[in-house]
Each structure stands twice: as C-alpha cells, then as structure tokens.
Structure 1
Amino acid sequence: MASNNDPFQFQEFEEAENLLETNRDAVTVSIEEEDQKSKSQRSAGGFSPDFTDEDPLRTDDKAELLGGQKKSAPFWTFEYYQTFFDVETHHVKERIIGSMLPWPGKNFIQVYLRKNPDLYGPFWICTTLVFAIAISGNLSRFLQYSGSSNYKYTPEFGKVTIAATVIFSYAWLVPLGLWGFLLWRNNKILNLVSYSFMEIVCVYGYSLSIYIPAVVLCIISYEWLRWCSIVVALCLSGSVLVMTFWPALRDDHPRVVMAVVSAIVLLNVLLAVGCKTYFFSSPEIDSQVKSSPKTEVVKPTSST
C-alpha cells in the first residue's frame, strides 16, 4: 500500500473541487478528447494526420533564404537572364543621365548599378542608336543632295545591318575582352578591384546613350557641327569608361594601365570617327555630282 507522503501519487487540487461543487452543471473537457477531435476532423476533411500543414517546398525556400543558400538559375536558362531585365524605370533614367553627365570621382558601377546590372537599358540604347545612325545618315544625304539634278535618292537599308553589327559588336565583344583581361590580372594581383561581365556590358551599353543625340544633330549639313557633336559625345563616353575602370587598373603595373586605358579610348575613338566618316559623308556621291557636266541650254538661232 502506497504511503500518504508519496510525491508521485495523484492528488486533486482543492480549487478544482470547490469549482465543481459551486457549479454542478459545468462541462469538463479533457485534453485527450480535444486531440482526438482535432485528428478526426483533419482526417474527415481529407488531411492526413501524418503530415504537417506547411508546404515542404516553401519551408525549403525559407531555409535557403535564411541560410543564404538560395540557388541561382544556370546561365543557359531563361530564368537567369530574366533577372537582368527586372529594373525600374527611374533606375534606367538615372543611369542614362549619369552616363551623359560624368562627374569626377564618381564610379558608374558603384554609384548607379549598386551590384544590380541590367540588360534592358543597354539593349534598347544600342537598338535605338542603330536606327538613329541609319535614318540620320540617309536623311542627311537626302537633304544635302536633294537640290542636285544628277542625284537620285535611294534608301540604303543595308546600312542598318552594318550599323547593328558595329554597335552590338562594340557593346558585347569589347566588354568580353576587357572582362577576360581583368580576370586574368586579378588572378595574378590579388588586391585588384574586380567587375563582373554583366557590369562591364552594362557600363558600355549606357555609355553609348550620348551618341543618340549626337547622330541626330548630324542630320544638319554643317560639317563643323557634325564634328563638334561627335567629339563631345566621344569625350563624355570615354570619360565614363575611363573613370569606371580606373579603380580596377590603378594598382596594376603602369605600362599595363596605360595600355588598357589607351585601348579603351582608342576603340571608342574608332567607333565615333568610323560612324561619322561612313554614315555622314559620301565622297563617291560628291565626286559624282561635282564631275558631272552641267547641261547647257542652247537657244535656237532664228534664220532670216
């Protein structure tokens, strides 16, 4: 027989007895009955009691986000490039203005990109520049020689293809070569600033935005105005590129720094001068118009 002082013996509380005595009609519910009822309701509603209500995929995503292990899509999938087109309109506007108005000491990647490069702005800037160059070149030639009787205007649609090849090659192949070179130098010199390929493409794409108003001004058939607009666009675009990539080059060997900076500026000069001389000057038409003999009107002599 158990002792009265046994601590493990079940004892009823006096407060519960007093409450039951005051209210004899009260209904008591046990915890075990509630658990049985909840299980039966979940089974009747089609939910198995063996599984939790949370989605396992959702819990896995939460765990990856909290742990910083969210998996990114592979680069050959559409989801990988979709993130580079998810950009706000005011961000694109700020980046275009920043590329047109460079300020000393402001790095374009650090100030405007903020580790969030986009391809939306560079793609449409390059596309707009291609059509602006082709249309402005045809229109300027038409306005320049429309008064000549020996010139017959024919639209040159092939120059759209040439402009697209030149612009998109410059906006993609040059950043690819620069990114590979910076990656190679970063492996040899560990303290260099490194940029991703998408960041370099974004910088080159936005640096071309100043050329759009420059080529539109080239429609006016004044050679000095055309050269002034091209030179101004060249200086602004080159300044953005040099100030952006200078932090990644300044700690390298001086000869390497001078070679890379010279290559960046030289390729930009070749693009600007090449577009000016090819699309906005036509020496073959000039020689054709100038060398063509003028037709003289011969008055008939009256015979007496």
Structure 2
Amino acid sequence: MLCRYGPFWICTTLIFVAASIGTFVTYIAHKLKNKEWEYDINLVTWSAGLFYGYVTIVPLGLYVILKYFSAPSGLVPLFCLYGYSLFVFIPALCLSVVPLEIFRWVVAGVAGFMSATFVALNLRAHIKSAGERWFLIVAGIFLLQLALSVALKLYLFTVTV
C-alpha cells in the first residue's frame, strides 16, 4: 500500500515546499531592495496543477505507448514511479534559496537529470521489450523530465523584483 500513497504525498509535499520556498525567496529579495512585497497565491495553484498533472498525464501517456508496443507495464506502478521520481526536486527547491542564478540552473539541471535517470533505469526492462523503438521512448522520458526541470527553474527558481 505504501507505493500507492507515497507518490501522492511526495507531490503534495513538493507543492507546499515549492510555494513556501518561492514565497520566501521573493520576500527576501523584495526586503533586500526595500520594495513592497505581496503574497502570490498563484504559486500554490500553479505548483498543484504542474505536479499533479505531470504525475497523472505523463504515466498515462507512457502506459498507452508501452501498451502499443506490447511492452509489459502496469498503470499503478507507472504512477508510483513518476511520483517517486519527483522526490529529488524537494531538496532542489530548498537549494533554490541560494541567490546565484547559475547555481539555480545547475541545481535544476542536476535534479532533472537525476529524476530522468531514475525513471529510465527503473523502466529499462519494459522499454527494451518494446523493440527497436526503445531509444525514442527513453529520449521522450528524458526530455519530459528535463522539461519539468526547466519549467520549475523558470517559474519557481527565478526571482524578479
């Protein structure tokens, strides 16, 4: 039963960490420049839509693709795998407090690469059984995980004052 609830709690934790860290970073940036600061509730709704949507839509799409290629896979294990793959973004978001832009890009890139590697390695056996197009599936997995990382960097790791 842990597998079914773990990804939900990781996503939920990620939503609140993303919103609170993003709010904290913008608050500090505004205070350092002596500017007025207002709370942005959109961080919570945007984070919820991004993480819950990603953990639902991407595994569904991968499930359909793997079924098309007659590769053995289950939908619930894919949901679990993608949910657990997001765990690395929790410490990455915490590290986004550091006010160096290049450091934030590195953290987002490393987190995206680690997450993509986790998914690809855990699906290796399923993907190889998909035939000669296994490389396209792996490339798609990497690109989607890295796209998530870039979206997080651009929206949550960037501070504008």
Identity over aligned pairs, percent: 30
Q: Which residue is equivalent to 2:142?
A: 265
**What one-letter code is carried by the residue in structure 1 that aligns with 2:90?**
I
Structure with the larger RCO, 1 or 2 (CA within 8 Å, 6+ apart): 2
Name the CA distance, whole Å, in 2 between partners of 1:212 and 1:147. Answer: 25
Q: CA deviation at 1:168?
A: 0.6
Q: 2:33 aligns with which of 133, 148, 154?
A: 148
Deviations 1:179-231 (A, max 9, x none): 11111211xxxxx4x12100010000011111101101101212222222222
- The equivalent residue for 2:55 is 171
RMSD: 1.5
- Give the AA of the match of 1:270: A
Which residue of the partner structure matches residue 162 of structure 1?
46
**One-letter amino acid of the counterpart of residue 145, structure 1:** H
1:282 CA displacement = 4.1
| Structure number with bigger Rg | 1
TM-score when normalising by structure 2 = 0.93
Cα distance in 2 for residues equivalent to 1:234 and 1:280? 13
Q: Does 1:274 align with 2:134?
A: no
Structure 1 unaligned residues grouped into runs of 5+? 1-85, 88-117, 187-191, 286-304
Q: Give, in whole Å, the separation in 2 of the partners of 1:282 and 1:221.
A: 9
The CA distance in 2 between the partners of 1:137 and 1:280, in whole Å, is 7
Q: Supply the distance in 2 between the matched residues of 1:257 and 1:268 (Cα, whole angstroms).
A: 17
Instruction: Give the ranges of 4+ consecutive aligned residues of structure 1 lying more than 3 Å apart after TM superposition.
Output: none
Residue 119 (structure 1) shift: 1.7
What is the TM-score normalised by the length of structure 1?
Answer: 0.51
Residues 84-105 of structure 1: CA deviation (Å, up to 9, x unaligned): xx33xxxxxxxxxxxxxxxxxx
Q: Deviations 1:144-186 (Å, cap 9, x if unpaired)?
A: 231223x211011121001100101110110011111111211
Q: What 5-or-longer segments of structure 2 have no aligned partner?
A: none
Counterpart contact for 2:63–2:75, Cα < 8 Å: yes
Structure with greater helix share of residues: 2
Q: Is the 8 A contact 1:172 1:201 kept in 2?
A: yes
Report the count of equivalent residues.
161
Cα-to-partner distance string for 1:35-80 (whole Å, 9 max, x where unaligned): xxxxxxxxxxxxxxxxxxxxxxxxxxxxxxxxxxxxxxxxxxxxxx
Residues 234 and 269 of structure 1 are in contact (CA less than 8 Å); yes or no, is this contact kept in structure 2? yes
